[in-house]
Amino acid sequence: MSSKKQAQVFHFDLYGKREEKYEFLNQQPIESIPWKELEVKEPNYFFVFKDFDVYQGYEKGFEITSLFIVYGMGITTGNDSKLISYDKKELAQLYGNDKQIKEIQYRFFDKRFIYYDLKKVERARESLMNHMIDKSNYGLLSLRGVRNNLTSKFGITNIMIDKSVISTLDNGYIFPLYTYSASNIQANIYQSIGRTVNLNKEIVQQIVEVLGSHFTSEKEPIPSTFAPIDILDYIYAVLHSPTYREKYKEFLKIDFPRVPYPKDADTFWQLVKLGGELRQIHLLESPVVSRFITKYPVEGNNFITKPRFEPSHTEPNNPPPTSHISNPTSHISNPTSHQLGSVWINDQQYFDGVPLLAWDFYIGGYQPAQKWLKDRKSRVLNFEDILHYQKIIVALTETARIMGEIDWVSIE
């Protein structure tokens, strides 16, 4: 049986506006273009350049789709305007059944309410979401492939999610830390009463061998033990490492991430600490987010017209230590990102002392400091909304700081 010869694939990058590209192609004979022959390899057969030497190190890590046993896409209502609301009372008045009104992570830093009627919600994904609804649980969030240059495609939740939680262009997936059973089960190393660790035992065992510690189904105050939450926090720190994202950016764009196994116990626990801080900050559970760095100094109607950022003429006394952080879109490493400014919600009212870094910061496909306000255009902010927005600004600023600390840890 004869084998067919693979076709040769050549590649050339040309950046610029469409008219400039047409002009280039009109003037250049195709033979004169400095093509680069690509190494075409299975299973993906990439049609752009990939550093396969780097990939050999990348593929030594574990896939999150192999670590988490149960996972899936967020829900699709098919009718957000009717089924999702900022106000629980609004849904109760519309449908009259409080028991079916649940909290949903609609966007990052943006929890709303959903009328979770399986007959009305287009894709309720109830078998998956039942592990997150009215449960004590965490879920890692990730996009799969992305249609743009994102490597910042990860998040965390403790409730059910909308499929566009991280990006409107790409579907968001949730990886629950635990799964819940309807009946009580006898506890063992992977189970506690009512819930089971949603992690692959073989991968966990490899981590056990590296750490030389015992694995427990729940966090215990016992030395030489670690629990599922520690693995989650370790992963969350790695996924927020600027070096990791830059090194593996081409592979992070095309599929769910691979995460390197801990290289030793000391590195593992350093990353667990930092990942845990990030988790709590992103869920707005950390007391840090209530230490506001902004002010809302002017009284008024709190009506949002067209949010905008206006830089101030003074620099912060203590700019965040982010000189070695890069962000795929907002360029956090740029010194101008340390500048403070005001975020105006209308012609009279504004949040003062907002770092440009926070205003520009991306998580997934969104800039949360901008999107949260834009989604509320033509609405009135209440007292809780004003506090919530100031927490978001702290959370984004702290995220940049912690990402810088993670980058000082040698992950591999």
Q: In this predicted structure, what is the pLDDT of residue 187?
A: 54
Output Rg (C-alpha) for the chain, integer angstroms.
24
What is the spatial distance between Cα 103 and Cα 84, in angstroms, rounded to a whole number?
A: 9
Q: In this predicted structure, what is the pLDDT of residue 150?
A: 76
Q: Which pTM value belongs to this model?
A: 0.84
The residue that leads in pLDDT, 386 or 6, is: 386
Q: In this predicted structure, what is the pLDDT of residue 334?
A: 46
pLDDT band for 340, please (50, 70, 90 cuts). very high
Least confident of 4-8, 119-123, 213-217, 298-302: 4-8
Q: Which helix (H) or strand (E) holds 225?
A: strand 225-226
pLDDT band for 297, please (50, 70, 90 cuts). very high
pLDDT at 357 over 80: yes
What is the spatial distance between Cα 350 and Cα 283, in angstroms, rounded to a whole number?
A: 25
Q: In this predicted structure, what is the pLDDT of residue 10?
A: 77
110-115 vs 340-344, strand pairing mode: unpaired
What is the spatial distance between Cα 167 and Cα 366, in angstroms, rounded to a whole number?
A: 7
What is the spatial distance between Cα 237 and Cα 275, in angstroms, rounded to a whole number?
A: 4
pLDDT at 2 over 60: no
User: Average pLDDT, stretch 57-70?
Assistant: 95
pLDDT band for 346, please (50, 70, 90 cuts). very high
pLDDT at 60 over 60: yes
pLDDT at 332 over 50: no
Residue with tokens 């990348």: 58
What's 345's DSSP letter? S
For the chain, give the mean pLDDT.
Answer: 88
pLDDT band for 81, please (50, 70, 90 cuts). very high
pLDDT at 252 over 60: yes
Both structure tokens of 365:
């496909």
User: Average pLDDT, stretch 131-149?
Assistant: 91
User: Average pLDDT, stretch 48-53?
Assistant: 60
The residue that leads in pLDDT, 198 or 332, is: 198
101-107 vs 160-161, strand pairing mode: parallel
What is the spatial distance between Cα 341 and Cα 330, in angstroms, rounded to a whole number?
A: 16
Least confident of 10-19, 159-168, 270-279, 378-387: 10-19
Q: In this predicted structure, what is the pLDDT of residue 330?
A: 36
User: Average pLDDT, stretch 318-331?
Assistant: 39
What is the spatial distance between Cα 370 and Cα 303, in angstroms, rounded to a whole number?
A: 16
What is the spatial distance between Cα 282 and Cα 294, in angstroms, rounded to a whole number?
A: 18
Q: In this predicted structure, what is the pLDDT of residue 3?
A: 56
User: Average pLDDT, stretch 331-356?
Assistant: 82
Which of 10-24, 255-269, 330-344 is the most confident on average?
255-269
pLDDT of 186-230, one tens digit each? 556 666 668 999 999 999 999 999 999 999 999 999 989 999 999
**Cβ count within 10 A of residue 163:** 20
Residue 372: how many CA atoms within 13 Å on its side-chain side?
A: 27
What's 295's DSSP letter? B
